[in-house]
Amino acid sequence: MASRAMMVAVLLAAVAATCARAQLHEKFYGETCPSVEDVVRKEMVRALSLAPSLAGPLLRMHFHDCFVRGCDGSVLLDSANKTAEKDAKPNQTLRGFDFVEKVKAAVEKACPDTVSCADILALMARDAVWLSKGPFWEVPLGRRDGSVSISNETNQLPPPTANFTVLTQLFAAKNLDSKDLVVLSAGHTIGTSHCFSFSDRLYNFTGRVNPTDIDPTLEPQYMAKLRNKCTSLNDNTTLVEMDPGSFRTFDLAYFKNVVKRRGLFHSDGALLTNAFTRAYVERHAGGSYKEEFFADFAASMIKMGNADVLTGSQGEIRKKCNVPNH
């Protein structure tokens, strides 16, 4: 009897999850705020024309939002005692929060109390990719905003130091598979990173903290270039292009770098340790299947954007993205 009740509970949970995803659709604001995408894109075009390097951080912000509590805008919330997601170490290098508030204000002016911050962030991430010469996709909308943001929960974020096993476990927790992992990792084709996210590969790979303690899987010439930029483990300010030479263009160069053992992070190099993800990297390193990769990236972004969403009467529509309504 107990096992039957448990089975029913599991089935109901699965149905609820399916229904939540089903409530997201591209025309969700078709009647209540038909101009929302135009409003967001106008702000994005203006901002990226002045600061094209903002595209990568906005894509990353959506990713970090979805991996903690689902895509509910919780990464945007402030905390008076500095215990929100944005205060946690993995999120302290996120940028663009003020710009998100600016876009939200523009949307509020057009359609008050209608569009969630979670949806705005999803649209901004899509436009960040598209305006960087990447793919365009229709974003399913209808997310609601959460009101809880806890710094300790950012341990659900895939760290740049993770190996393949850890990466697949963290992705699986969000219903994302190995293909999603290798496809979404290619988001590293735009943007920059601080040295401290990978400098252990240069000076402290096994914990000995000396100039010879290097990651042997990193290509030697690339290693030398990185060490020239990041001169010590204590460098907390220097920024390095994640995709050298085209870090403002969404393209397939990321795969070319990874296959040459020039992926910046442990997590990039980890893609070569699994047969499936390695084959995917090698297929796209030649650059002959751009449209195929673009379609895959769009599909994985939509899939990630469905992670644990709040819909219907759940959550709220925040007036400002950094504070709950009540």
* Binding site members for substrate: 158
Q: 279: left (phi > 0), else alpha (psi -120 to 50), else beta? A: alpha
Tokens of 151: 């710094």
* Binding site members for heme b: 188
Q: Catalytic: which of 62, 64, 266, 284?
A: 64
Q: Does the annotation mark 25 as catalytic?
A: no
Angle, CA 117 vertex, CA 113 and CA 121 arms, to 5°: 145
**Which of 147, 172, 152 is CA-nearest to residue 303?**
172
**Which of 249, 302, 325 is CA-nearest to residue 143?**
302
Report the C-alpha gap between 97 and 236 in whole angstroms.
Answer: 20
* Binding site members: 65, 68, 70, 72, 74, 85, 158, 188-189, 243, 251
Q: Which active-site residues does the annotation give?
A: 64
